[in-house]
Amino acid sequence: MKVFMVTDMEGVAGIVSFTQQSYPDGIYYEQAKKLETAEVNAAVDGLLEGGATEVLVWDGHGAGGISFEDLHPKAKLLHGRPSPPWSRLNEVIAQYDLVVMVGQHAMAGTLTGNQNHTQSSRTIDYYKLNGKPIGEIGQIALYFGSFGIPLIFLSGEIDACKETEELIPGVTTVAVKQGLGRGSAISLSAQEARRLIREGIRAAIEKQRTEPVAPLVWPGPYVLEKRYFHTDVADGAASQPGVERVDSQTVRLHSDDVRDIIYR
Ligand SMILES: [Zn+2]
């Protein structure tokens, strides 16, 4: 089984602060990359122990969250911004059987979600797809679901785990910290977080052989509502063709194809 691993920084144990850790000008940013990479490596170990034949790690953190020289020797890394065009990325995604997420945070607006945000922590208030709030987890699960690829495992902050369990029946989650607010959390120790990730993801891939998690697919047509914090960002979004302006800060996009809409 070939596994595509989507990674992020804000849901890693020990990383609680945008300004000090997960923004690239943070004084502890390089240390945060090492913490994230160690959780990723624990997940790669668990996947390989559980029978994965290949693991591609996608560095999903905006400014880069993987410390390259520390990456697991058996993993490959997909990285670099701007991200490749979706048409090219789709050819890569289609080669994989399963998707997993490591280091994930909850969607923007989650009460206790440590470093909660959706895509841009500085501009986006919320996304709703067909009336249901979604964050980055829903985006990944639905995008890969359109290829028939199920999201079977997620580790990260506890609210991200709850968000995933509400979306995907049978998914395995591992909480490595409990958010107390957007800038605070109770983290497990680094060692314990890595142990739980390794064991949890191994169990998830083993379980997939007997009790498979289904790909997440919602019926279309699709309406994606995006609300921004500021009117100038909404002005820019509304200037794109086919985008409907709902109010000063909100736009709506329409499509029959979830892949065309969910990352626009
Ligand atoms: Zn991030």
| pLDDT score for 121 | 87
- Give me ligand 1 centre to Cα 211, in Å: 31
- Give me ligand 1 centre to Cα 61, in Å: 4
List every span in the chain annotated with CATH 3.40.50.10780: 2-218
| Strand extents, DSSP E, the chain | 2-7, 54-59, 76-78, 98-104, 124-129, 132-134, 151-157, 172-181, 184-187, 222-228, 244-247, 250-255
CA atoms of 26 and 24, how far apart (whole Å): 5
- Give me ligand 1 centre to Cα 16, in Å: 12
Would you say 219 and 142 are in contact if contact means Cβ atoms under 8 Å apart? no
| Residue ranges near ligand 1 (ion) with Cβ within 5 Å | 8-10, 61
Pairing of strands 250-255, 172-181: unpaired
Would you say 35 and 129 are in contact if contact means Cβ atoms under 8 Å apart? no
- Give me ligand 1 centre to Cα 59, in Å: 9
CA atoms of 62 and 42, how far apart (whole Å): 22
- Give me ligand 1 centre to Cα 133, in Å: 19
- Give me ligand 1 centre to Cα 253, in Å: 24
Beta-carbon contacts of residue 185 (< 8 Å; ≥ 6 apart): 16, 114, 157, 177, 178, 179
Please report, for residues 96, 146, 170, 174, 229, the alpha-carbon distance to residue 53 in angstroms, rounded to integers and kept in the order given: 10, 23, 23, 22, 43
- Give me ligand 1 centre to Cα 209, in Å: 31
pLDDT in 10s for each residue of the chain, 264 residues: 999 999 999 999 999 999 999 999 999 999 999 999 999 999 999 999 999 999 999 999 999 999 999 999 999 999 999 999 999 999 999 999 999 999 999 999 999 999 999 999 899 999 999 999 999 999 999 999 999 999 999 999 999 999 999 999 999 999 999 999 999 999 999 999 999 999 999 999 999 999 999 999 999 999 999 999 999 999 999 999 989 999 999 999 999 999 999 998
- Give me ligand 1 centre to Cα 26, in Å: 13
Question: Whose CA is closest to 115, among 30, 40, 204, 178?
Answer: 178
Provide the CATH topology of domain 2-218: Rossmann fold (3.40.50)
- Give me ligand 1 centre to Cα 143, in Å: 18
